[in-house]
Each structure stands twice: as structure tokens, then as C-alpha cells.
Amino acid sequence: MKKYTHILLLIVTFNLTLSCGDDFLNEPPLDRITENDVWNDKNLMDAYLFKIYDRMPWDYLEDFSAGGFGSHRDGLSDLARGTYSWTQLNNQFRPGNWGTANNTWPLDWWGYDIIWKINYSIENIELAPINVLTVDERNERLGELHFMRAYSYFALVKRYGGVPIILNAQNPETTTEDEYYPSRNTEKEVYDQVLSDAQAAFDLLPNRWSSQKGRAPKWAAKSLESRAALFAASIAKYGTVQLDGLVGIPNSEADAYYQLSLSASQKIISDAGYTLFNKYPNASDNYANLFLDETDDETIFSKVWIPFEKGHSYDLHNVPYSYRVDWSGSMSPTKQLLDSYEMLGTGLLPNEAGSGYDENNPFENRDPRLKGTLLTNNDIFQGLPVELWYGTEIGGVIDTNKGTGVGKDGIGIHPDATKTGFYVRKHLQDGGAPLFIKEYYSGTNCILFRLGEIYLNAAEAAIELGIEGSARDYIEPIRTRAGLQQNLRLDTYSGNELRDRIRNERKLEMAFEDHRYWDVKRWRIAAEKLSIQVEGLKTLRSIDGFGNETFTYETFNAEAEKMNFAERHYYLPIGQGRINNNNKLKENPGY
């Protein structure tokens, strides 16, 4: 009897084994969200849009790559050199040792993955049912996507010139061979695509996002139009058409683009309701706080950062040496930048005759933005003075010992300290005592578009169109807000001199906001401006017999090699890897 029970048991288990087959093997996994879920749920849809926002190439406070040791793009320009001698920034880009295929870190951005996500979202959101998204909600999201597509192509065209324009989410099973392996469009076509997407975005987006800071309002799209048209115009005016227009824009197009940019800027200034930030009596502090206060009066669109949960490491990378947690002072600002700030009393640049520049008092009586942008000797930062001297002279003997002679942040205190003699202040959080902000603990928002730029765009477009009066009208509010006292309308300059002062104004007003590198390229003056011998300022502290402290300053060559920007560097190489995948992509000239 026992045996039969056993047989029965066996048969039952066998049957169980066999019968549970199909369902058993088709249990879905528990950790996936399906396509269907996403396009039928507003929150999931937005979570996907935020992914796209997050991956946009517009941030400049985040360093170029994890472990990039604080290499920020302005370290490639004439504003600063990178402090760390081992970074590619110092070894490849500044000496001009780049250009071979795929050798373009940290500039390269071939963002077709983002463009795919954008196209894919546009295609699906257009079909979203009304019970999931209202018409307004759908339009707002489509507006964001067109804005981001415009920005993406703008990011591509300012790097490579003309690139393939792809406006649908490709899939090898449905996309035709010709579209799948596309050729490059001309640079003009790409700019026109950027401008048309920006226009579409402007028409769809809301005036402001209520309590959704971090999403682009319609004025961001208009600002992008203002900026992109200005880029297109300067390339038409100063660049050369090559490769049948794959790079360069015909000269004849310049004025139309300048006009377009000017109109966009004017519209923002008159209709958008933004005002220049002006909250603090001290002009230097006012300027510094413009980037820290995170107010909405001047800022049109910014990327929001929160310490820890979504933080960057700008403070960690850029504080002076004695305030460091880890890497410090990764950008050493150049003496050339210092020399670009005018004298407060005369309105003249230090190298102009009669400017009143005092070599032994280089930081005082200057454009207030100098001290809002840079940390100079004995400035109070986080409750303590920044000590920049490399040595102390007592009775004719210079002491450069680390314990006694060198200032706590000075050249030589450590190989990681400043290489030029001063530090960046802009974007750094201040406080009453050293903050020791760690990696990913910076929450300073990254301003992407602000009214200040729009004034500068307008001034530049106007001067290039030869409307000098108008240009002065737009530069005046910027100079006034900066706290300057002389020559607010730059009346003593005209023609190319006026243009150059407006360019200088742009350099200072938007220093360390990721504009300078792109501006000198589109003006086609990079070969001159980015092939300089970087200079710094050595500070010597002297103590006389009464214990009085005095400082003397000495200019020196702060980089062993000159920067070297060659003609071909106006465009990045497409790269061998990408040509290997699609030989219809033509390489840029000179590579």
C-alpha cells in the first residue's frame, strides 16, 4: 500500500511539473516600466523629460567628466589656465596638441542620443490622449522638447559646423538606408533648424512655469534665438565657407541673422518682464550674489542644483588652497583677464594712457566686477583673508618657507595651489567661516540664460549692424548695474574700438559662464586670443622694522608653454570613429 501512495505522489508531482510550464516561464519581471505605462502617465512622461533636461550639454558648473579634476571649459579660454598640470586641458588643448580623431575631450558632444529621446518624446506626446494631458499641458511639453532640440543642434553646430539633421526617432527596422546613414547638412541649415525649433518652442511654452523652477519658459526659447542668431551672424561675417557650406555661412546672410538676433533681444527686454539684478549696495557683492541668490528677476532659465541629492562640485574644485577639502583652485585666472577690467576713476583700461593704473595696487579702483569675479590678495572669503603672497621679505631676505614665508593660499604653498597668483570667486559660496564643501555638495544653480546676456547680445547685434546709438543704449544698463562710474555709454569709442569694448564688456560680464571660449571662436579671433603666453601676478609681502605689511607685485609667465590655437581648431573634428560608422560624414578641414 505504501508503495502505491508513493507512486501516486510521484505522478502528481510530475504532472505539476509539466502543467505549470507556460505561465511559469512567462511571469514578467518586477523591475521594468513599460512603454505603455510611460506615455499614459503624466508623471512618468515628465520623469523622462527630466532625464533629457539632465543630459543637456548646457551646464558649466559641473566639471567636464567625473574625475576630470575640476576642468571647466573656461580653463580652455584666455580667462584662466587649469591648475593641474596632468589634465588633458593643460597637456592637449592649450598647447594645441589635439586634433587627431576622437581626441576631443572635454569639448566633444555628439548628442544624437539626446536628440533621439527628444524626437521619440515628440512623436509620443503628440499622440497623448486628452485624459492624460490637456491641450495646454501637451503644448508645454512639446515646447520644452522643441527648445531642447534647438539647443542640442545649437550645441552641435557650434562645435562641428554642419551636422546631419534628424527629426524623427530612428529605428533600423523602419528608417530608410539613406536617412539611417545621413550626410552632413550645411552649417546654415543647422542654424536655421535651431531657429525654427526655437520659434516653435516660443509659441508653445508658457510665460513662466508656476512652481516648477528648472523647466524652460518661453523666454528661454527666445533667448536661445537671440544667442544662436548672433552666432550664425558672426560666422557669416567673420568665417569662411568651406566644404560646400558644411562649415561656414555665406557672408551675405550676416545682416539678416544680426537683425533676427536683435529683434529677439528687443522682444525679451520689452515684453518678458525681467529686470537686471540689483539688490546689494556694494557693486562687487551685488555681482557675486547675482549667481548665488537664485532669484528670478534677471535669470530667465537655470539648471537647478541641490546639495548631495543633485549637487555638483564647483566649490570643491575652485576654492583657494587653504579652504580645500580635496582638489582646490583648479582654475587659475590669468593676468590677462585682470588687465581687462577698466579703472573705475577713468573708465580706461589699464594699458590705455592716463588710465591711472597703479602696479603696486593692482586690485583697487577697478571695475567692481573684478572683485565679484576674482579673489585677490587679502580679500575676505569665508571669514578669512585669502593670502596670496609667495614669500615674505624681512630685512632684505625673502623667506619662502611654507610654514612662515608663503601665504596660506599663495603660489608655492603646495603644487596644487594657484599657478597665477589669484583665484576665482564667481559661483563660490561664501560664509562666515571655511565651509569645506565636499564633492557633489554644491547647490549653486547654473544660470543658462539671463537678461544681462540679452543686453549684450543686443548691443553686439546693433554695433555689427552699424547702429551705434542703439548699441550704446543696450550697453549702458549693464555698465551701470556693474557699478561703473565713467563713460557709461562708451561715448569716447566708435567703430571697431566700440565693438571691441562691447566684446570686452561681454568677456567680463559673462566671465566663467562658459561664453568666452565660444565667443572668441565665432569672432574668429581665437587664433590670436587663445595663442597667448599666460601671465600671472606674484605677490611679495614685505614687513618693515615696525611690523607694517606692504605688498609688491610682479608679472610673470605662468605657463611653461604658450597656448596654441590653430586655424583648424575653429571646428572640432568629426572623428574617425564616427566616419568609420558612416563614411558619408565628411571630416572637417585640417584634420
Partner 1 sequence: MNTMFLNCSKKLRKNTLLTFALLLCYSMLSNAQISVTGLVTDNTNQPLPSASIVVKGTDTGTQTDFDGKFSVEVSKGSILVISYLGFLTKEITITEAISLEILLMPDAAALDEIVVIGYGTKSKTKLISAVSTIDKKMLKKQPVANVSNALEGLASGLFVTQSSGEPGFSNSSFEVRNFGAALVIIDGAPGDLNQLDPNEIANISVLKDAAAAAVYGVQGGNGVVLITTKKGKIGKPKLSYSNQFTATTFTAYPKYLSSAERGEVLNQGLRNAGQADFYTAEQLELYENGSDPINYPNTDWRGLVLKDWGFQQQHNLNLSGGTEKVKYFVSTGYVDQGSNYNADVLSFQRYNLRSNVSAAITDELNLTLNLGARRQLNEAPAYSAYNVFRELSRSLPNDLAYYPDGTPARLSVTPNHVVEGIKDFNAGYYRAKNNNFDAKITLKWDIKQVEGLSVKSYASLVYNTNFTKNWGKSYDLFTLNRQTGNYDVFSATPEGAVSETVLTQGTSYSNHYVLQESISYERDFGDHAVSGLLLAEIQKQQGQYFNASRQDFQSTLIDQLFAGSLENQGANGGEFRQNRLGFVGRFSYDYQSKYFLESTYRYDGSSRFAPGNEWGLFPSVSLGWRLSEESFFESFKNTISNLKIRASVGTAGNDGTSSYQWLSGFNYNLFYAINDSAIPTIDNTALPNKDITWETNTTYDVGIDVDLFDRSLKFSADYFYRKREDVIAVASASVPSTLGVALAAQNFYEFSNEGFEFSFNYNKQINENLKISALLNFSKSREKAVFIDETLQEDLFMRENLTETGGFTGLRRGYISNGLFQSQEEITQYAIQDGNGNTSLQPGDIKYVDLNGDNIIDVKDQKVFGNGSKATTNYSLNLGVEYKNFALSVLLTGAAGYDIYLEGEAQSPLRNGFNGYDYQLDYWTPENTGARFPRISDGGFNDNNYKYSDFWSRNGKHIRFKNINLSYTFPKMKKNTTFDEIKFFCTGQNLFVIKDFEEDFDPQTGSGLGWYYPQTKSITFGINVSL
Binding positions for partner 1, 246-285, rule CB under 8 A: none
| Residue 353 in the binding site for partner 1 (CB under 8 A) | no
| Vertex 449: Cα angle to 444 and 455 (nearest 5) | 125
> Which residues in the 355-384 window bind partner 1 by CB under 8 A?
none
Question: Do 163 and 156 touch, CB atoms closer than 8 A?
Answer: yes
| Shortest distance in whole angstroms from residue 550 CB to partner 1 | 18
For the bound state, the minimum distance from the C-beta of residue 498 to partner 1, rounded and expressed in Å, comes to 37
Residue 431: all three cell numbers together:
560664509
Q: How many other C-beta atoms can be found within 10 angstroms of the C-beta atom of residue 224?
A: 28
Measuring CA to CA, which residue among 519, 527, 477, 480 is closest to residue 499?
519
Output 19 or 361, the one with its CB closest to partner 1. 19
Whole-number Å distance between alpha carbons of 535 and 421: 10
Report the residue from 91, 139, 242, 542 that binds partner 1 according to the rule CB under 8 A: 91
Closest to 585 (Cα-Cα) out of 571, 568, 573: 573
Q: Transcribe 434-496 into DSSP letters.
A: -----TT-B---EEEEEHHHHHHHHHHHHHHTT-HHHHHHHHHHHHHHHT--S-TT-TT--HH
Q: Which of 42, 208, 213, 524 binds partner 1 (CB under 8 A)?
A: 213
- CA separation for the pair 393, 535 (Å, rounded): 23
Which residue's CB is nearer to partner 1, number 324 or number 479? Answer: 324
Give the end-to-end CA distance of the chain in Å, rounded to a whole number: 89
Q: How many CB atoms sit inside 10 A of residue 120's CB?
A: 18
Are 574 and 160 in contact by the 8 Å Cβ rule? The answer is yes
**Stretch in the footprint of partner 1 (CB under 8 A) among 49-57, 196-204, 498-506, 513-521:** 49-57
Binder of partner 1 out of 18, 135, 353, 397 (CB under 8 A): 18
Residue closer to partner 1 by CB (options 35, 354) is 35
Binding residue (CB under 8 A) for partner 1 from 339, 476, 561, 587: 561
Give the 3-state secondary structure of residue 267.
Answer: helix
Tell which positions 429-488 bind partner 1, by CB under 8 A. 436, 438-441
Name which of 16 and 353 has its Cβ closer to partner 1.
Answer: 16
Q: How far is the CB of 299 from partner 1 (least distance, A)?
A: 14
Using the minimum distance from each CB to partner 1, give the nearer residue, 54 or 567.
Answer: 54
Site for partner 1 in 113-152 (CB under 8 A): 113-117, 120
Q: Decide whether 102 or 199 has the Cβ nearer to partner 1.
A: 102
Q: Measured from the CB atom, is 110 or 455 closer to partner 1?
A: 110
- Asked if residues 151 and 553 have their Cβ atoms less than 8 Å apart, the reply is no
Query: Shortest Cβ distance from residue 496 to partner 1 (Å)?
Result: 32
Question: Segment near partner 1 (CB under 8 A), from 109-117, 273-281, 485-493, 532-540?
Answer: 109-117
Q: Which of these segments, 93-101, 195-203, 232-240, 485-493, binds partner 1 (CB under 8 A)?
A: 93-101
Q: Would you say 319 and 328 are in contact if contact means Cβ atoms under 8 Å apart?
A: yes
Q: Provide the minimum distance between the beta carbon of 524 and partner 1 in the complex, in angstroms, as a whole number.
A: 21
With CB under 8 A as the contact rule, which of the stretches 230-238, 256-264, 304-312, 484-492 interacts with partner 1?
Answer: 304-312
Per-residue x/- track, 319-338, partner 1 (CB under 8 A): -----xxx------------
The grid coordinates of residue 381 equal: 572669503
In sequence order, what are the residues at sequence separation of 6 or more whose Cβ sits closer than 8 angstroms to the Cβ of residue 429? Answer: 292, 315, 435, 437, 442, 444
Among 34, 131, 252, 270, binds partner 1 (CB under 8 A): 34
Of 213 and 586, which CB lies nearer to partner 1 in the complex structure?
213
Nearest distance from residue 292's CB to partner 1, in Å?
Answer: 15
Q: Is 13 an interacting residue with respect to partner 1 (CB under 8 A)?
A: yes
Contact set for partner 1, span 410-429 (CB under 8 A): 412, 414-416
For the CB of residue 344, give the shortest distance to partner 1 in the complex, in Å: 33
Nearest approach in angstroms of CB 95 to partner 1 is: 6
554 touching partner 1, by CB under 8 A: no
Closer by beta carbon to partner 1, 431 or else 577: 577
387-406 residues in contact with partner 1 (CB under 8 A) are: 403-404
Residue 564 lies near partner 1 (rule: CB under 8 A): yes
> Minimal CA–CA distance to 379: which of 394, 391, 366?
366
| Residue 178 within binding range of partner 1, rule CB under 8 A | no
CA distance 570 to 568: 5
Q: Interface with partner 1 includes 313 (CB under 8 A)?
A: no
Q: Is 497 exposed, middle or buried (0-12, 13-18, 19+ CB in 10 A)?
A: exposed
Amino acid identity for residue 581 in this structure = N
Q: Measured from the CB atom, is 95 or 245 closer to partner 1?
A: 95
Q: In this structure, what DSSP letter does residue 343 have?
A: B
The span of 46-54, 237-245, 421-429, 496-504 binding partner 1 (CB under 8 A) equals 46-54
CA distance 419 to 138: 52
Alpha-carbon dihedral 273, 216, 107, 182, rounded to 10 degrees: -120
Grid coordinates given for 290: 547675482
Among 44, 256, 380, 398, which residue sits at the site for partner 1 (rule: CB under 8 A)? Answer: 44
DSSP string, 174-240: TS-HHHHSPPPPPHHHHHHHHHHHHHHHHHHS-SS-TT-BTB--HHHHHHHHHHHHHHHHHHHHHS-
Binding mask of the shown chain, residues 487 to 516, with x at each position contacting partner 1 by CB under 8 A: ------------------------------
Q: Which stretch binds partner 1 (CB under 8 A): 142-150, 329-337, 390-398, 571-579?
A: 571-579
> What is the torsional sign of CA 336, 338, 342, 345?
negative
Name, in order, each residue with C-beta under 8 angstroms of 50's C-beta and a sequence gap of 6 or more: none
- Answer for which of 71, 77, 88, 334 binds partner 1 (CB under 8 A) is 88
Task: Scan residues 155-174 and list those touching partner 1 (CB under 8 A).
Answer: 164, 166, 169-172
C-alpha cell at 579: 566616419
- Candidates 38, 276, 348, 543: give the one binding partner 1 (CB under 8 A): 38
How many residues touch partner 1 under the rule CB under 8 A: the total is 105
Question: Smallest gap, in angstroms, from Cβ of residue 205 to partner 1?
Answer: 16
